[in-house]
Amino acid sequence: MNPAEQLASGLRALGLDIAAPAQARLLAYAALLDKWNRTFNLTALRVPDKAVSHHLLDSLAILPYLGEGVLLDVGSGGGLPGIPLAITRPDLAVHLLDSNSKKTAFLQQAVIELELRNVTVHCRRIEEFQPAQPFATIVSRAFAELADFVRPTRSLLAADGCWLAMKGLLPHEEIARLPAGIVVDRALPIRVPGVDGERHVLILKDAGAVRREEV
């Protein structure tokens, strides 16, 4: 299958109804990412044939778990999963955060070329990032450890918001090391077409923040 056929087939397997113009934009993003990746090392994946499965479909597998409100993609790198989510959810305000200026230069270029009016790029360290409002959803594919994902972003999450952590095997030991008050609301297995091995999405909430809001 060519990339367009692979994407359409994968979206059907995921149960996602994505309009043709958005699918075309997803493929344009994958091509742009591949072009820049040859120079700027945006992602570890160097096999263009796997871009649809390992970049686009893997990112979009969490689409059913996105709610309303503003989304933050932390350590966005090449824009995964933030840009695919923004393309398929034009109603969603998406913020991409990365401290690497070369990566954020690519993100800015992608926003311009793909005409993503719902995306804002920030070149900042998490500790220095001071948004105007907290985020309803914070997501990342880049953090190896759950605690390292939630701890520095805890102050950025709305009281009723959630983290979406994308993982392979269910990380029982990482869950045990989560900071006090952080709870796993749901741990859901996901099957990504073309991606071998187990995949999970963990939905995390800050029970402490909810209690503080209620006081």
Binding residues, as ranges, are 75, 80, 126-127, 141
Q: Do 97 and 133 meet the contact criterion of CB atoms below 8 Å apart?
A: no
* C-alpha dihedral, 195 to 197 to 201 to 202, nearest 10°: -160
What region, left, alpha or beta, does residue 118 occupy, with left being phi > 0 and alpha being psi -120 to 50 degrees?
Answer: alpha
Q: What is the helix (H) or strand (E) element at residue 201, kind and residue range?
A: strand 199-206
* Residues annotated within a binding site for S-adenosyl-L-methionine: 75, 80, 126-127, 141
Q: In degrees rounded to 5, what are phi and psi of residue 95?
A: -115, 130
The total of other beta-carbon atoms located within 10 Å of residue 1's CB is: 11
Cα 183 from chain centroid?
20
Q: How many helices (H) and strands (E) does the chain have?
A: 9, 7
CA-to-CA distance for 60 and 29, rounded, in angstroms? 14
Q: Where are the beta strands (DSSP E) in 56-198?
A: 71-74, 94-98, 119-123, 135-140, 157-167, 182-190
